[in-house]
């Protein structure tokens, strides 16, 4: 069963949840791409999609878990907000990652992080407005594995991005 995991982290990112679950939205594209299971971690958002269970498709929804490790490990694709912790966890797990940048945030360090990790070949990124087109056009096979065990380099990069 091909699984996509969508995570917004501990905050709310209703625009991403809506972009995935709206009729004719990214959910349909994922199904067209062969995904039969989508797991949505929706945080504290107000958009709370219904659970769906049919013989051909399952949509699971939850707000929080103590750990996302199992969901990440079970996923064939992770669609995530651009939080540094989430990005690092998914990249270290070796999963294909599509980061959706929240372009409504001020002083958007998330965009800088996503841009750099994309330049390095580790992920693809988009906004909610370009999610469908990005899902339809990316070639996941071009992604490079994230080098393991270098948290100090990642921390230094984050400090640079944040201007610390």
Instruction: Encode pLDDT of 96-108 as tens digits.
Output: 999 999 887 656 6
- Ranges of beta strands (E only) in the chain are 3-7, 37-41, 52-53, 58-62, 77-80, 97-100, 124-126
| Residue whose tokens read 């330049």 | 119
How far is it, in rounded angstroms, from Cα 112 to Cα 154? 13
Model pLDDT for residues 108-159, shown as the tens digit of each residue: 677 888 888 899 999 999 999 999 999 999 999 999 998 876 666 666 666 6
Sheet holding 3-7, edge to edge: 52-53, 58-62, 37-41, 3-7, 77-80, 97-100, 124-126
Q: How many CA atoms lie within 13 A of 54 on its CB side?
A: 7
DSSP state of 9: T
């Amino acid at each position: 069963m091909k699984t996509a995991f969508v995570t917004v982290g501990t905050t709310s990112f209703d625009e991403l949840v809506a972009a995935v679950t709206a009729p004719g939205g990214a959910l349909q594209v994922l199904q067209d791409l062969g995904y039969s299971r989508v797991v949505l971690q929706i945080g504290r958002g107000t958009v709370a999609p219904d659970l769906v269970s049919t013989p051909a498709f399952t949509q699971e929804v939850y707000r929080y878990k103590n750990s996302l490790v199992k969901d990440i490990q079970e996923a064939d694709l992770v669609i995530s907000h651009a939080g540094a912790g989430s990005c690092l966890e998914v990249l270290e797990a070796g999963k294909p990652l599509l980061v959706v940048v929240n372009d409504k945030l001020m002083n958007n360090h998330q965009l800088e992080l996503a841009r750099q990790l994309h330049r390095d070949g580790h992920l693809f990124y988009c906004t909610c407005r370009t999610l469908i087109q990005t899902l339809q056009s990316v070639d996941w096979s071009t992604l490079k594995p994230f080098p393991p065990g270098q948290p100090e380099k990642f921390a230094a990069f984050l400090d640079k991005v944040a201007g610390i």
